[in-house]
Amino acid sequence: MDIRVDTVRKEFSHYPALNDVSLDIRSSELIALLGPSGSGKTTLLRLIAGLEMPTAGRIFFGDEDASSKTVQERNVGFVFQAYALFRNMTVLDNISFGLKVRPRSTRPPKAEIRRRAMELLDLVQLSGLEKRFPQQLSGGQRQRVALARALAIEPRVLLLDEPFGALDAQVRKELRKWLREIHDRTGHTTVFVTHDQEEALELADRLVVMSQGKIEQVGTPDDVYDRPNSPFVFSFIGESSSMPVTVENHELWVGGRAIGLPAPNDAVGEANLFFRPHDVELVEDGAALAGVVAASRRVGGTRRVELEIGGNPNRVEIDLPFDHPAGEKTRIAFRPKRWRVFPQA
Amino acid sequence: MFEPDVIYDSRRVILPTDHTRPTTERPWVRRLLIGIAVVFMAAVLVLPLVLVFTEAFRKGAETYFSAFADRQSQQAILLTLLVAAIAVPLNLVFGVAAAWCVAKYEFWGKSFLTTLIDLPFSVSPVVSGMVYVLLFGAQSVLHPLLKAYNIEIIFAVPGIVLATIFVTFPFIARELIPLMQDQGNTDEEAALSLGATGWQTFTRVTLPNIKWGLLYGVLLCNARAMGEFGAVSVVSGHIRGKTTTMPLDIEILYNEYNFAAAFAVASLLAMLALVTLVFKTILEYRFGDELAGTRRH
Amino acid sequence: MAGAPRGASRNPSHPARAGWSFVKPSVIPGFGLTFGYTILYLSLIVLIPIAGLFLKAATTPLEQIIKIATSPRTLKALEVSFGSSLIAALVNVVFGIIVAWVLVRYKFPGRRLLDAIVDLPFALPTAVAGIALSTLYAPKGWVGSLFSDKGPLWQWWHGQTWLPFGLSEFSLNFKIAYTPTGIVIALIFIGLPFVVRTVQPVLEEFEQELEEAAATLGANRWQTITSVILPRLTPALLTGFALAFARAVGEYGSVIFIAGNLPNISEIAPVLIVIKLEEFDQAGAAVIAGIMLVIAFVMLLVINLIQAWARRRFGNV
């Protein structure tokens, strides 16, 4: 099921939580809404579900305008951050709830409901636990029940709000892989919200990076990581270093010296240079960024070096292999291998 | 993120799609339920209160105030104040001691002890008064002894005080126990580790932490102490001007068909109730976090 | 310490107190003082007097106990007490949910005031409530007159010419005060806050996500309320019911004025106790009080069991 979000705006007591957002979600893709808290990602997810109604704009499920449909009519599978399992029902009752509450005309017979719930229980690898109550399950198991419950209604789209947020690191990794498998097997269009970029990069077909109620960038994980289109995306996704530079003569300058980075298409004037700390090469001579080592510490297999460049108080970080001889030096000259320049606001 | 206020504002302009919000009811259902609640509360709770004041002033302010010129009513007021002035402080000391030992320690039979402390709440007021009649009354084994020393308890002020203490017994303890349990022992342990004595720890650390809860308990305890009827009625003997508290005075006046006077005295107690409610609401509103939750009896 | 038995060294930080101890060792001082005082005061004020009551009841000859307990007047008084308490508590459960729901879920002018008024029965002395309710529901009172013979309701009813033959002749005449109905009214007044105040916090803490989850699964509002919200309120409702019921059974002050206290009709058990005491029939009073106390104990036990069960069943997820 394709989903089209068309210039949707959402205000909460006149404060815009979403600012004219448009987004196309393709059928069967696994797409992540990624952003810091307050970026509007959960609001967008809840608008798609119909848990909130947009102040303006439309939401299409396929060709059908779903904007004015209630959440019950939209038939979406929603997995809540804290799972929202019904404590007064067993695992089996939780999973079959969505089928049991259907109007009599579309409700499957009892035996069929049970069969389908058991099948889903099997899919989420919890067979044998159908008589348990939610509070007798571990966090990971609850997550699986929540997913099975959402899948039971044969949703047109699966929406997950911070699905792994409440789990510890080990379980989170396992479930991540497992969610990908389930998605590949069932082929549901799936949207999930996360603030964890690693999760988004690993799991999603495409990422939607959001900030302050707007979409900053949409693309595959590689796209977003390799070609961030704004300073926000560059610094939000992955490690980044940045420093002020000047663009002149189609070249970048720092403190009146060219640093050996061409800038053929950038506007002349003050700008910010962004690069990845690990994506640099050390330079013995020639134009480069040269700085005094202000601090250096080993982080696992790499050595992170903080450099002061041209008396700029904001230090720039680069990564070296932890046993690199340059780690002992007091001055280091380097050039980013890949970089982006954004004009200063 | 999502909307912070869970409460749905029915005065807000309702958008055409607003009724489709999944976690509220349609506007007409909301209005109907609010209507039922308001009408029910008005009929059952507010109307009697309003009636007390209208009946008290039915024959004019003069009749109203003349009710308090009556010596026997004046004595009833004084006795009520006296009884509360004895019962409340005693239960206050007990409440703090009981809360301290229940909340700060783990000991064998603790939950049984808390059940016993709650016991007077589940005993009929009539029975609360009656136990003292059995203990000290004319037919009890203690009676000859009391008589020999000329001690009067039943049909006298001491009996009234005892019965009042009994019915208001759990109020303060019950307010403080959950509060102090929630607060834990860390503050006291910190104070002790800094060299404070036990008494200093109590007065400078524990007491400031529980002061609002304590006040809350005192408020409720006092309201009940001044208003207790059943227990006091059994032990009092209804000797007008001697052993009648305000509630008993109301009963006597009412049964003598002196309604204006009965409601005049009642209006004083109703005022006390209103003041109690106002203070209680202010305390809950201002210091809700420092009280033991919103459930109370 | 060398000779200490091995089993006693469970708590190495307090070797001197090792083994079973009445109180778990604590650095906080004052246990002996506060515990001792609590027990002393509790015993003097509550335990010894209550023990005296049971002693009195127990020293009464068995046949006399049975005679008192099974006398028609006693049985009827107990029936009136428990019956009207049951009805009042049920009414309070129904309206208590509605009031709690409205207070927690909706915002409307006067909500805070309404919330404060709920506690009125806790603060208003029972005698005041008693004379007020009695005056209000008497045949000439504000409410009582509406329902009385030839009152507005009666007038309206008899003016309905469209009613099928005979129906309008059916006398619509309710006497409230001085009947068992009056008792129920007074007990509703007394018990309402118990239900509201036990349901309210549970409703306040209810996670909205659960309702949203039910909605995404296709449940309509009614299905969500009945299958998701109400089951979670059940323990609180049962507790509120039990508290209101227990309070109603023992209630005296607010009932005696409105009840009329007619033997075998509107005489509640506490009134019968007072009458027995006034007749110097202490044994009779003690037996009835004993029965009521035992039932109160059972209610207390039931409340605790409900709460323990609810904690187990609905413990935090």
pLDDT tens, position by position, A204-246: 999 999 999 999 999 999 999 999 999 999 999 988 999 889 9
C203 phi/psi in degrees, rounded to 5: -65, -35
Separation in Å, CA of C315 to nearest CA in chain A: 7
Which tens digit of pLDDT belongs to each residue from A89-142?
Answer: 999 999 999 999 999 999 999 999 999 999 999 999 999 999 999 989 998 999
Confidence of residue B12 (pLDDT cuts 50, 70, 90): very low
Specify the long-range contacts of residues C298-301, CB closer than 8 Å, at least 24 apart.
Answer: C299/B122, C299/C242, C299/C245, C299/C246, C299/C249, C300/B115, C300/B118, C300/B119, C300/B122, C300/C246
Q: Is B20 on the interface with C (CB under 8 A)?
A: no
Mean predicted confidence (pLDDT) in A12-16: 82
Residue B222 binned pLDDT confidence (cut-offs 50, 70, 90): very high
Q: What integer pLDDT is reported at residue C163 of this predicted model?
A: 64
Mean residue pLDDT of chain A comes to: 90
Edge-first strand order for the sheet with A64-65 is A15-25, A3-12, A56-61, A64-65
Q: Do A87 and C227 touch (CB under 8 A)?
A: no
pTM over 0.90: no
C132 touches chain B (CB under 8 A): yes
Number of residues that make up chain B: 297
Partner-chain contact A37 B22, CB within 8 Å:
no
Closest CA of chain C from B43, distance in Å: 9
How many C-beta atoms surround the C-beta of residue C89 within 10 A? 27
Measured CA to CA, the distance from residue A198 to residue A169 in angstroms comes to 12
- The per-residue pLDDT for C150 is 66
- Provide the shortest C-alpha distance from residue C166 to chain B (in Å): 32
Angle at C79 between CA C56 and CA C233, to 5 degrees: 105
Contact criterion met (CB < 8 Å) for C274 and B233 = yes
**Residue A202, token pair as written in the block:** 């690993």
Interstrand relation of A64-65 and A56-61 (parallel, antiparallel or unpaired): antiparallel
C261 in contact with B, Cβ within 8 Å: no
Contact A5, A21 (CB under 8 A): yes
Do residues A274 and A241 lie in contact, with contact meaning Cβ atoms separated by under 8 Å? yes
CA distances C90 to B224, C95, C229, C305, Å, are 25, 9, 19, 20
Residue A226, number of CB atoms within 10 A of its CB? 15
Q: Work out the end-to-end distance of chain A between its first and last CA atoms, rounded to an integer number of angstroms.
A: 40
More confident residue, B67 or C8: B67
Confidence of residue B52 (pLDDT cuts 50, 70, 90): very high
Structure token pair of residue C271:
């009134």
Mean pLDDT to the nearest integer, B55-65 = 88
Distance, CA of A100 to CA of A95 (rounded, Å): 10
CB pair distance less than 8 Å for A53 and B1? no
State residue C15's pLDDT score: 45
Q: How much is the pLDDT for C265?
A: 81
Residues of C in contact with A82 (CB under 8 A): 207, 209, 317
- Which structure tokens are listed for B233? 């009625």
Shortest CA gap A291–chain B (Å): 42
Query: What 8-state DSSP symbol labels residue C23?
Result: B
Q: Which residue of B has its CA nearest to C133?
A: B48
CA angle, C62 then C64 then C69, to 5°:
95
Percent of chain A with pLDDT over 90: 57
Residues of B in contact with A42 (CB under 8 A): 1-2
Integer angstrom CA distances of residue C68 from A149, C49, C73, C262, C288:
61, 22, 9, 19, 8
Task: Give per-residue pLDDT as tens, A24-67.
Answer: 999 999 999 999 988 999 999 999 999 988 989 999 999 999 98
Distance from CA of C193 to the nearest CA of A (A): 26
Which residues on B lie below 8 Å from A12 (Cβ)?
A: 3-4
- Dihedral pair phi/psi, residue C133, rounded to 5°: -65, -40
The phi-psi region of residue A134 (left if phi > 0; otherwise alpha if psi is between -120 and 50; otherwise beta) is alpha
Partner-chain residue, chosen from B3, B15, B20, that has the shortest CB–CB distance to A70: B20
The string over C35-74, giving b where at least 16 C-beta atoms fall within 10 Å of a residue's C-beta and e elsewhere, is bebbbebbeebbeebbebbbebbeebeeeebeebeeeeeb
- Do C132 and B100 count as a contact with CB atoms less than 8 A apart? no
Q: Which residues sit opposite A34 in a β-bridge?
A: A194, A209
- For C7, which DSSP code? G
CA A118, A119, A123 angle in degrees (round to 5)? 115
Q: CB count, 10 Å around CB of A344?
A: 11
Cα(B39)–Cα(B224) distance, integer angstroms: 27
Of the candidates B249, B56, B271, the residue with the CA atom closest to the CA atom of residue C123: B271
Q: Which residue has the tokens 């002033």?
A: B57
| B195, two tokens | 């060299």
Taking all residues of chain B, what is their mean pLDDT, rounded to a whole number?
Answer: 86
Contact across the interface for C38 and B113, Cβ inside 8 Å: yes
**From A106, which residue of chain C is nearest by alpha-carbon distance?**
C218
Q: Which residues of A touch C216 (CB under 8 A)?
A: 49-51, 71-72, 76-78, 150
User: Torsion angle, CA of C124/C127/C130/C136, rounded to 10 degrees?
Assistant: -80
Q: What 3-state class would DSSP assign to C46?
A: helix
Query: How far apart are the C-alpha atoms of A201 and A194, rounded to whole Å?
Result: 11
Q: Residue-wise over A295-324: b if at least 16 C-beta within 10 A, else e?
A: ebeeeeebbbbbbebeeeeebbbbbbeeee
If pLDDT is split at 50, 70 and 90, which confidence band does A300 have? Answer: confident
Quick check: B223 and C123 CB within 8 A?
A: yes
Find the mean pLDDT for residues B182-203: 90
Question: What's the confidence (pLDDT) of residue C169?
Answer: 57
Q: What is the pLDDT of residue B94?
A: 95
Any CB–CB contact under 8 A between B105 and chain C? yes
Pairwise CA distance, residues A99 & A58, whole Å? 28
Residue bearing the bigger pLDDT, A301 or B126: B126
CB contact under 8 A, A84 and C210: yes
CA dihedral of C149, C151, C157, C161, whole degrees rounded to 10: 100
What average pLDDT does the segment A326-345 reach?
A: 86
Note the pLDDT of residue C168. Answer: 57
What average pLDDT does range A243-251 have in this prediction? Answer: 89
CA dihedral A27, A29, A30, A34 (to 10 degrees): -80
Chain B residues in contact with A71 by the CB 8 A cut-off are 20, 22
Alpha-carbon torsion, ordered B103, B105, B109, B115, to 10 deg: -10
Rounded to 5 degrees, what angle do the CA atoms B290, B291, B293 make? 120
Considering only the beta carbons, identify the residue of A82, A101, A142 that sits closest to C217.
A101
| Residues C120, B278 contacting (CB under 8 angstroms) | no
Q: Does C230 touch chain A (CB under 8 A)?
A: no
pLDDT at B15: 38
C117 vs B: CB within 8 A: yes
pLDDT tens for chain C, 317 residues long, are 344 444 444 444 444 445 667 888 888 888 999 999 999 999 999 999 989 888 888 888 888 888 888 899 999 999 999 999 999 999 999 999 999 999 999 888 989 899 999 999 999 999 999 999 999 988 888 887 777 766 677 677 666 666 666 665 555 556 777 788 889 999 999 999 999 999 998 998 888 889 999 999 999 989 999 999 999 898 889 889 988 998 999 999 999 999 888 888 889 999 999 999 888 888 889 889 888 888 877 877 887 787 778 777 765 43
Average pLDDT over residues A148-156: 93
The closest alpha carbon to A273, from A291, A288, A254, belongs to: A254
Which residue type sits at A315?
R
Q: Are A48 and A191 in contact (CB under 8 A)?
A: yes
Contacts of B98 in chain C (CB under 8 A): 34, 38, 42
| CB contact at 8 A, B276 and C123 | yes
Chain C CA closest to residue B265: C128
pLDDT band, residue B279 (cuts 50/70/90) = very high
**Residue B62: pLDDT band by 50, 70, 90 thresholds?**
confident
pLDDT band at A326 (very low <50, low <70, confident <90, very high): confident
Of C106, C192, C221, the CB nearest to B7: C106
Output the pLDDT for position B4: 33
Q: Are C269 and C187 in contact (CB under 8 A)?
A: no
User: From CA A247, how far away is CA A260, in angstroms rounded?
Assistant: 12
Min distance B101 CA to chain C CA atoms (Å): 6
| Closest Cα in chain B, distance from residue C169 (Å) | 28
Q: Assess B76–C contact: CB distance below 8 Å, yes or no.
A: no
Cα–Cα dist C142/B139, whole Å: 46
Report CB contact under 8 Å: B22, C215. yes
- Beta-bridged to residue A157, according to DSSP, are A76
* Residue whose tokens read 């509406």: C146
**Are residues C127 and B251, on separate chains, in Cβ contact within 8 Å?**
yes
Interchain CB distance below 8 Å, B2 and A46: yes
* Chain C residues 66-85 with CB within 8 Å of chain A: none
**Whole-number percent of chain A with pLDDT over 70:** 100
Cα–Cα distance measured from residue C50 to residue C44, given in angstroms and rounded to the nearest whole number: 10
Q: Quick check: C120 and B127 CB within 8 A?
A: no
If contacts are CB pairs under 8 Å, which of residues 281-300 in chain C contact chain B?
A: 282, 285-286, 289, 292-293, 296-297, 299-300
Binary contact (C131, B125; C-beta < 8 A): no
For B15, which residue in chain A has the nearest alpha carbon? A55
B257 dihedral zone (left: phi>0; alpha: psi -120 to 50; beta): left
Pull the structure tokens for residue B193: 């580790």
Q: Is residue C26 within 8 angstroms of chain B, CB to CB?
A: yes
The total of other beta-carbon atoms located within 10 Å of residue A52's CB is 22
